[in-house]
Structure 1
Amino acid sequence: MTAPAVDAAALEHGGVAAPEAAGEPARFRGALASRSLRGLVVAHSLGTAAQLALTLAVGLEVLSRTTSGIWVSIAVALGFAPYAVFSGAAGALADRWSAPAVIGATVAVRGATSAAVTAGIVLDWSTPVLVLLAAVTAVCATPSYPATAAATPQCVPAGQLPAANALVTAAENVVWLAGPGLLGLLMLVGRSTAVATGVSTLCFVLATVVAARVRLPRRAAHPASWWRAMGEGLHAVYADRAVRVPMTVAVIDNFLYGFLLVAMMLTAVASFGLLNGALTCGALAALTVVNRCAGHGRSRVVLMVVMTCLCGSVAAFAVVGATAATLSMLAVAGAGTMVAEVVAVTMLQRAARPDVLARVFGVFDQVNVGAIALGSFAAGQLSAAVGVRPATLAVCALCLVATALTLGLGRRRRREAQPIPSQQPG
């Protein structure tokens, strides 16, 4: 992985890799000097934001047609579930092909299926057809994040790699909240779900253009077979507790996030855009402190504190309901989701072996988006059985207990206590 990174950096800096001052920490500014990295991050971010807006727009369209919480949870869950099935294979794909080609192909195909969803809403196609199209779009999205993570070392000099990884992580987490925020903004100004899916289509087209402008070499062929390569990624997660612990906390965080999305729809569909906007604003505000939290020497303590705040704020939302006070609670929830995810990913990046990092991130994407799908599905089923408020309170309590048990297992590794100077913002 090192040699391609130097070659790409040399191209970016006029044929000579950028010199690095001894002992100088890598910063975001240095990573952003790479045109290739900027292009990959922008293309992936546009595609992801459009993907999430499309998934939730289809959920709202289904709700308006059926008024069924169960149907809504199925529609939203199927927009996320393909990640749980295909992202592991997508990680192996990212180890073999040029990232711009992979990302460009995924956003181009999703642009076509998104346009079909828009036509289906306008022409009043059946609800199952719309849900199926959204699920197909999600299948096509699965290679995007593993390809971006795998290509990051090709875009920057070795000394800037930690800052580049932090940048990719921050962008990934911002767009997972900004996508619903985009939909919420369109709903606030009175636009229909057809307009929202049309905007998603335009974002996919723009992402295709951006990806086409990025030039990176095709990755060297991996000697292992396709199935063996995926098995190596799974084994890297299973065999190393330092990888498993932060990944498990991220799964809990994403399960609660998926549950919250559907719970907000069921609690106040008319205010969904406003509630989503508060969630997104909280996540964006967390960017001012996320690097400090990720670089803290006691990462497990930080995760426990952040997850406590997240579960508490979601529980408070369930008790209070859709009121003005709810906005501040959801802002705290958005901030907690952002910080928990970035801290967990930072711990994972420090623990995983570099030669399997892309496949580890394929597994990471698989289990975490699967957790969002499971949380979305559980929200509809549990709310139908016992009501939205009791279901949300119970899930918050279970998530908090699961986090405490996860972070309390095993010995703390020495490397976990070391701060990361490269996580300072540029």
Structure 2
Amino acid sequence: MKGMTAALRHRDFRYLMAAFTISDIGTWAYNVALAIWVIDATDSYGWLAATTVVRFVPALVFSPFAGLLADRFERRGLMMGADATFAVLMALMGTAMALDAPPLVVLAIAGCSSTLGSLYGPAAAALTPHVVPEKDLASANTLRNTVDNLSVVLGPALGALLALTGPPQNAVWINAATFLASFLLLARMHQRAPGGDVTEGGEAGALRQMTAGLRALRDEPGVLVLVGFSVLATGMFGADTVFFVAASDQLLGTGPDGYGYLLAGLGVGGLLAAPLVTRAEALPRLAPVIVGGMALYCLPTLLLLASDEPAVAFAAQVLRGAGTLFVDVLAVTAMQRALPSDVMARVFAIFDSLCLMAILVGSTATGWVLGVADLDVVLWMLGAGGFAISLLGLPWLLAIDRRAAVRRAELAPLLRLLDAVELVEEVPDGGLVQLAGAGELVDVPAGQAVVTQGEAADAFYVIVAGGCAVVSEVDGHRIDAPALAAGDWFGEIGLLEGVARTATVTATEPTRVLRIPGEDFLAVLTAGRPTAAFTEQAGIRLRRTHGVGYTGAALRP
């Protein structure tokens, strides 16, 4: 559980998650209320189908442009603007329902809301790496999926309760209030995620700007494979939206209420599995986790071939909900870690579009199969067929594992070196891997300065082999600090204090150093509070060269 909640240590992420939770629950309650109002107002399943269309199609069409906007403008501000607009749209919809407006008016407002929603998701996904360090991304995405699963359970229950106690528009008005609450929570965040020049210096046209996400995915084959598995799982969820209705009616005998019952099972499974996902993310091999997740998502469906008990069906959905969480979290985390920030929102917009298409294809295909075959065929299709399709991606997963093993072997000597650096002794393993991966081995001949007093501080150094002399000049007086040998480090003072180099470090013999860029060093160090050993070491070294103490200016928000 500790690993799962690691991202909550970061103030801005807590506000982001609170905003997600409130608005997601309100949105699920609104979805139930909208369906109830449409049926009551039209008594037509055709209009109900139209409701599904306006929830998905506008978002599918608008997603590429939405991702472009989220990369162009500051993401937190964009989300706040979306929340404010959502609140206005929901207030208008609730009023239209209360006034018995034509269904077309209500669905038009729903379509506008769906279109706006395609902007919110990519902006939020691209903002997340700015509010949590890389090592906590898996925790952040697990918590986000946990909120999604919790919302699936609580949101429809809230919508149904409100429908029993009053008209459907009450839930819509409450949804407007949740968006206002989300707006206020986002306003409390300190961190910003500025946009960039999406025109590539004025050279890129609109089409090239919108397809930058596709090109970024193409250049990261490992991420593309994980995206493929997530899209496959999402397509199967689309199939579930039709299959659950048929199974409830034809097999379980639970009637229309069985749909929500089975959907809640998926949500419960995701909640139960959440603490395990961050542990799985840290495992050295990816293939067993992804294939195991797909097996857990697909194969329990076959239990319904042997039993028509609602309790068995619910238990099967709990297992399936656990399986899909592993696939989704690992895919999203891989994208956030591997892709450049300036195209990340566009990548997530493409990802959202693929997921929406998969839902439409999955639901349509399942409806067609049910029209020409019996339910057992659908059970085999979703259970055995879905897992068989996932196995086609196994060779690519194994290739990713082989490349990762080679990379770990390459980093092993650097990790051993960093593990002995007292300054970072309490940095978690994930942070040390981040430092080692960002580092570069540099050979310095005897007599050459590695850093010079007065120059800008841009990196942290650890001596791998050789030795260095440390000299500083204060008020015209030369100060010789103790010599540095293999295993010692330097360069942290300028980075931590946000000042120029405080001393000159010169190689006294052929020397090899590990150079870690300053932004990577600070990103890892600022992920938590400085330890006592950290503060003591920094203070001692600064007093040796300048007679003043350490303040840790760069570590303060």
TM-score range, shorter chain: 0.7 to 0.9
Q: State the match for 1:169 in structure 2.
A: 141
Cα distance between partner residues in 2 of 1:96 and 1:305: 38
1:128-207 to 2 correspondences below 5 Å: 128-156=104-132, 160-163=133-136, 165-186=137-158, 189=161, 191-192=163-164, 193-207=168-182
Moved more, 196-205 or 380-389: 380-389
2:191 aligned with 1:213? no
**Structure 2 counterpart SS, 1:298:** coil
Cα distance between partner residues in 1 of 2:76 and 2:190: 7
- Distance verdict in 2 for CA 1:190–1:91, change over 3 Å: closer
Structure 2-normalised TM-score?
0.62
| 2:235 aligns with one of 255, 258, 279 | 255
CA deviation after TM superposition for structure 1 residue 124, in Å: 4.3
Moved more, 269-278 or 375-384: 375-384
Cα distance between partner residues in 1 of 2:398 and 2:311: 44
Higher helix share: 1
2:337 aligned with 1:357? no
Q: Which runs of 5+ in 2 are unaligned?
A: 249-254, 409-427, 432-527, 529-557
Cα distance between partner residues in 2 of 1:177 and 1:117: 26
- Distance verdict in 2 for CA 1:47–1:190, change over 3 Å: closer
2:300 aligned with 1:313? yes
User: Which residue identity does 1:200 align to in structure 2?
Assistant: N
**Structure 1 counterpart SS, 2:73:** coil
1:18-57 to 2 correspondences below 5 Å: 31-57=7-33
2:56 aligned with 1:80? yes
CA deviation after TM superposition for structure 1 residue 133, in Å: 2.9
CA deviation after TM superposition for structure 1 residue 339, in Å: 1.8
Q: State the match for 2:216 in structure 1.
A: 236
Cα distance between partner residues in 2 of 1:294 and 1:314: 25
Cα distance between partner residues in 1 of 2:217 and 2:65: 15
| Deviations 1:120-165, CA, capped at 9 Å, x for gaps | 4444444444444323211111122221222234335xxx2330x2
Cα distance between partner residues in 2 of 1:369 and 1:53: 20
Q: State the match for 1:285 in structure 2.
A: 272
- Distance verdict in 2 for CA 1:99–1:40, change over 3 Å: farther
Cα distance between partner residues in 1 of 2:120 and 2:28: 13
Cα distance between partner residues in 2 of 1:155 and 1:187: 32
**Structure 2 counterpart SS, 1:134:** helix
| Deviations 1:279-329, CA, capped at 9 Å, x for gaps | 211111111211122222221221112111211223435774561222211
Whether the aligned pair in 2 keeps the contact of 1:88 and 1:362 (CA below 8 Å) is yes
Q: Which runs of 5+ in 1 are unaligned?
A: 1-25
CA deviation after TM superposition for structure 1 residue 196, in Å: 3.8
Instruction: State the number of aligned residues.
Output: 395
Higher strand share: 2
Structure 1-normalised TM-score?
0.79
2:73 aligned with 1:97? yes
Q: State the match for 2:290 in structure 1.
A: 303
Cα distance between partner residues in 2 of 1:346 and 1:154: 13
**Structure 1 counterpart SS, 2:194:** coil
Cα distance between partner residues in 1 of 2:332 and 2:294: 15
CA deviation after TM superposition for structure 1 residue 113, in Å: 2.4
- Distance verdict in 2 for CA 1:187–1:141, change over 3 Å: closer
- Distance verdict in 2 for CA 1:318–1:209, change over 3 Å: farther
Whether the aligned pair in 2 keeps the contact of 1:300 and 1:407 (CA below 8 Å) is yes
User: Alignment RMSD, CA only?
Assistant: 3.4
Moved more, 110-119 or 305-314: 110-119
**Structure 2 counterpart SS, 1:338:** helix
Percent identity, please.
25
**Structure 1 counterpart SS, 2:393:** helix
Cα distance between partner residues in 1 of 2:292 and 2:11: 37
CA deviation after TM superposition for structure 1 residue 252, in Å: 0.8
User: Which residue identity does 2:314 align to in structure 1?
Assistant: L
Cα distance between partner residues in 1 of 2:353 and 2:297: 22
Cα distance between partner residues in 2 of 1:145 and 1:127: 27
Whether the aligned pair in 1 keeps the contact of 2:7 and 2:140 (CA below 8 Å) is no
Cα distance between partner residues in 1 of 2:51 and 2:345: 29
User: Which residue identity does 1:241 align to in structure 2?
Assistant: P
Moved more, 240-249 or 132-141: 132-141
Q: Which has the greater radius of gyration?
A: 2
Q: State the match for 2:381 in structure 1.
A: 394
**Structure 1 counterpart SS, 2:284:** coil
Cα distance between partner residues in 1 of 2:131 and 2:156: 34
Whether the aligned pair in 2 keeps the contact of 1:56 and 1:180 (CA below 8 Å) is no
User: Which residue identity does 1:41 align to in structure 2?
Assistant: M
